[in-house]
Amino acid sequence: MAAVASEVAAEKATGTLIEVRDLEVHFALHGTFRSRLTGRGGGSVKAVDGVSFDLREGEVLGLVGESGSGKTTLGRALLGLVRPTGGSVKLRGRELAGLPEKELRPLRRHLQMVFQDPHASLNPAMNLETALAHPLQIHGLTKSSAETRAKVREALDLVGLAPADDFAVRYPADLSGGQKQRAAIARSIIVGPELLVADEPVSMLDMSVRSKILDLMIDLKKRLGLTYVYVTHDLATAKFFCDRVAIMYLGRIVEIGSTETIFSDPKHPYTQALVRAIPEPDPDKALPRDLPRGEIPDAAAPPLGCSFHPRCPLAFEPCGWESRDLRALLEERWLEAGEEAYSAERPLVGDLESLNRAERDEAIVPAGSGTDPGALLALLEKIRSEMPDEPFWRGVKTMAAETHGVRVVFEPGIDPPLYDAGDSRAACLLYRPKTSV
Amino acid sequence: MSEPVLSVRNLRIWYGTDRGAVRAVDGVDLDLEAGETVGLVGESGCGKSTLGRGVLGLLPEGASAHGEVNYDGRNLLELKPRELRRLRGPDLGMIFQEPMTRLNPLMKVSKHFEETLKTHEPDIGRKEARRRSLEALRGMGIPPTRYGQYPHEFSGGMRQRIMIALALVLRPAVIVADEPTTALDVLVEAQILRILADLRRNFDTALLLITHNLGIVAEACDRVAVMYAGRIVEKGAAYDITTKPAHPYSRELLRSTISLSTTALHSIPGAPPNLVAPPPACRFHPRCPDAMRVCASTFPPSVDLGGTRRSECWLSARDQIPEGEDRPLEREALAVAEEA
């Protein structure tokens, strides 16, 4: 903790704009009538699940992750556009989480957002003059209509929509995708914000236009002293654009560090996979692929322990093994073994759905109806001997046949916090300090 | 060189609009050989998707197509709708961008496959249909235990793999894939690309892969065709074009791609032209950094650069440029706003 405190103190000196601590955004799932009525019961999706970081003045922080990683929700939570269910967000020491909308709204002047889809974020019935004047009126920043007009033109000039008089009277339908995004950026900078959260600002645009918008954003940062949070799934633009990068996976930051360290020496196995997966246009520079299997799991029922362990090639004993991993293993085996093995082995195992109810530390694999649990145990032992390198088996302590199935006992799992890993911090048990064992 | 499976000759596809005819595809020649993957790249609005659909005879109302799309000794453009429909599926397949909108949410995956097989091969038995479907799904990494599930129970990447399996189950000779990975995440995209790469090794399918991402081209394609304003401006082996592009448009497109090795941003000034009234002569000349006087006055020749490589640019035909016409073109600077 002392290390964290001194780090925070050092950042104060350079000016911390935003301080995020243990931020949580949980969305309640109300599947049943009763839970809808009482507001209780049902599960929750932990879109953001305990995230902490500091944002220094004038820096560009990238929030990078796949869809469903919670990066967009986190970006919105910084502005109070979704309400945090826990934790704190401080703007220059002032708490934003939990503020009523009435008090939050004047502060939004300082915190603005650029959305992903420029075609959807501009009102088609407003010309740019009206669209850009709106934020000025809402925040009461101009005294006369002449001043508003002048400010609108100034903003249009800043984003390169020149001649400004010409563009002021245009409607979104008259603009190309890139021009719309410029207009959306103009609308967000017109109130003089300190922080701009840009949610995938270039991903809907053509390759040839992307660099122009990124160029514009770099230019604006220099001219207006902006701080950016750049939310993206595209590591290539993040590498170019960001000073620091936070890699997100299922609502958590799994690795955070300077852009240089993250890309030259990624620590978390997930980051390593992401960096290798980017298509490289120069065939002479292409890296060999070592892709993790599967996809990002359901956020309503995240894996136990480390949430990346089902896909991780380096997973070992304490990563949080559970019954769903066994199901995945069986399915993968039947996928590769072919039709014959599948029809021979499938009847030995009972209802696979029962394996979806994950419980810590142990699982009962039901035997197929009328089959001997001993035969099921033999099958599992056989799979184990045929795939000894499969990380799953590292997490299995014992397997024993019982009346209705096989009891599998797993190694106890640990949910990893962010550990120091060289120059960055990674939420991976590979970097767990030895002393804390 | 072996005989191409599909060969396109001087194809033109024009749409009628209030403003005049949109020349989305304007004189394209392209061959697809068995077992090869050809990438079709270019910015939005260059006619890539129209060309991709046109080669399968899928055109919206109000469009007219001229030229030849030769498949199995017949010109697809001259076939009756009934005959064309019979070819779609068993001979010509298509993979779309949004997998969720192409699968029926009320039908189990098994039903999708069995219906497809029954429609095109009425004599197929239930058992055989099931075996073939499971085999196609297995090839795409979908476990047999999930055969009876509904589309919503699968993740985005799995749905796209189901779509690919659904296109493959009839073993078509030609598949057009229109931006098959654009809606997917990096890791899933990489998985699908690997599957597509396996596809050309294991089947004899010719694949036309439409994409705007040159990284994908370098990784998954044998050959590339670069499209600009309705024309194929350069084509050739993927390795050659991604390492030594001949046409200025290919080169600029490659330079403006942001990859991990990007150290400085680069962009092409301007935007693709309006295809109702494209620029005269070379269509890229208003945006081309190398434009010469001749580029604005005379249409460039298509130059054979050896192998299967061709480039439609005066730079490759310097000896044919009339005296004095090779001086740089003088242009007014473009306003920033017109760029994006």
Q: Kindly state the average pLDDT of the residues A271-282.
A: 85
Q: pLDDT of A183-210, one tens digit each?
A: 999 999 999 999 999 999 998 888 778 8
Query: Position of tokens 């590591």?
Result: A235
| Closest CA of chain A from B183, distance in Å | 10
Any CB–CB contact under 8 A between B217 and chain A? yes
Residues of chain B with Cβ-Cβ distance to A184 below 8 Å are none
Tell which wins on pLDDT, A294 or A17: A17
How far is residue B85's CA from residue B79's CA, in Å, rounded to a whole number? 10
pTM, full prediction: 0.86
Question: Which segments of B221-310 does DSSP mark as H helices, in order?
Answer: 238-243, 248-256, 293-297
Confidence of residue A293 (pLDDT cuts 50, 70, 90): confident
- Smallest CA–CA distance, residue A100 to chain B, in Å, is 36
Q: What DSSP designation does B320 have?
A: G
Q: What is the pLDDT of residue A40?
A: 66
A371: its two tokens: 């089959």
Q: Does B298 fall in a domain?
A: yes
Range of the domain at B300: 267-339
Q: Which of A215, A279, A342 sits opposite B213 (nearest CB)?
A: A279
Pairing of strands A86-91, A362-366: unpaired
Nearest to A234 by CA among A193, A256, A202, A272: A202
Contact B242 A181 (CB under 8 A): no
DSSP B165-199: HHHHTT--SEEEEESTTTTS-HHHHHHHHHHHHHH
Question: Of all residues in chain A, what percent carry a pLDDT higher than 90?
Answer: 61
Which of A281, A295, A352 lies nearest to residue B259, judging by beta carbons? A281
Q: d(Cα A197, Cα A78) in Å, to the nearest integer?
A: 8
Provide the shortest C-alpha distance from residue B282 to chain A (in Å): 20
Mark which residues 265-284 of B lie under 8 Å from A by CB: 265-268, 271
Does residue B303 fall inside a structural domain?
yes
Query: Residue B69: helix, strand or coil by DSSP?
Result: strand
Which residue numbers in chain B have pLDDT < 50? Answer: 335-337, 340
- Amino acid present at B78: E
Q: Contact B260/A263, CB-based, under 8 Å? A: yes
pLDDT value at position B180? 86
Average pLDDT taken over every residue of chain B = 88
Residue A64 has pLDDT above 60, yes or no: yes
Contact B46, B229 (CB under 8 A): yes
Give Cα A284 distance to the centre of its chain. 31
Residue A39: per-residue pLDDT: 65
Least confidently predicted of A56-70, A333-347, B247-261: A333-347
* Distance (Å, whole) CA B180 – CA B102: 12
Q: Can you tell me the ipTM of this complex?
A: 0.82
Task: Judge contact between A384 and A365, C-beta under 8 A.
Answer: no
Task: Give the list of residues 6+ apart from residue B64 with CB closer than 8 angstroms, or none.
Answer: B13, B14, B16
C-alpha pair distances (Å), A266 with each of A45, A261, A425: 28, 7, 10
pLDDT at residue A368 above 90? no
**Separation of CA A289 from chain center:** 22
To the nearest whole angstrom, how far is the Cα of B190 from the nearest Cα of chain A?
6
Strands of the sheet with A396-401, listed across from one edge:
A362-366, A405-410, A396-401
For A116-128, what is each residue's pLDDT tens digit?
Answer: 888 899 999 999 9
What whole-number distance in Å separates Cα of residue A370 and Cα of residue A348?
9
For B:106-135, CB contacts with A below 8 A are 131, 134-135
Chain B CB contacts of A274 under 8 Å are: 186-187
How far is Cα A74 from Cα A382, in angstroms, rounded to an integer?
45
Domain ranges of chain A: 321-410
Which residue in B has a C-alpha nearest to residue A341's C-alpha? B144
Residues of A in contact with B242 (CB under 8 A): 281-283
Is A239 within 8 Å of B242 when comparing Cβ atoms? Answer: no
Q: What confidence tens digit (pLDDT) does each residue in B192-225 have? A: 888 887 777 777 889 999 988 888 888 889 999 9
| For testing contact with chain B, the best of A174, A206, A242, A298 (most B CBs within 10 A) | A206
Helices A207-224 and A145-158 meet at what angle, rounded to 10?
120
For strand A244-249 and strand A60-64, is the pairing parallel, antiparallel, or unpaired? parallel
Taking the CA of residue B292 and the nearest CA in chain A, the distance in Å comes to 22
CA distance B68 to B65: 9
B109 belongs to a structural domain: no
pLDDT for residue A9 is more than 70: no
Per-residue pLDDT at B333:
56
Query: How large is the C-alpha radius of gyration of chain A?
Result: 26
For A140-171, the pLDDT digits (tens) are 999 999 999 999 999 999 999 989 999 999 99
Indicate if the pLDDT at residue A37 is higher than 80. Answer: no
Tell me how far apart the alpha carbons of residues B73 and B52 are, in angstroms, rounded to a whole number. 20
Amino acid at B155: S
Cβ neighbours of B258 in A, within 8 Å: 207, 210-211, 214, 234, 236-237, 240
Q: Looking at beta carbons, which pairs linking B58-64 to residues 24 or more positions away fall under 8 Å?
A: B58/B94, B59/B13, B60/B15, B62/B15, B62/B16, B63/B13, B63/B14, B63/B15, B63/B16, B63/B24, B64/B13, B64/B14, B64/B16
Mind spelling out the 3-state secondary structure of A39-79? CCCCCEEEEEEEEEEEEECCCEEEEECCCCCCHHHHHHHHC
Does residue B325 belong to any structural domain of this protein?
yes
Q: Residue B116 has which token pair?
A: 């497809």
B311 in a structural domain: yes
In-domain check, residue B318: yes
Is B285 inside any structural domain? yes
Cβ contact B38:B207 at 8 Å:
yes
Question: Do A54 and A253 touch, CB atoms closer than 8 A?
Answer: no
Compare CB distances from B336 to A160, A207, A273 and report the shortest one's residue: A160
B29 located within any domain: no
Kindly determine whether residue A283 and residue B213, on different chains, have CB atoms separated by under 8 Å. no
Write down the pLDDT at residue A411.
Answer: 92
What is the number of domains present in chain B?
1
How confident is the model at residue A315, as a pLDDT? 92
Q: What is the pLDDT of residues A208-257, one digit of tens each?
A: 788 899 999 999 999 999 999 999 988 999 999 999 999 999 999 999 99
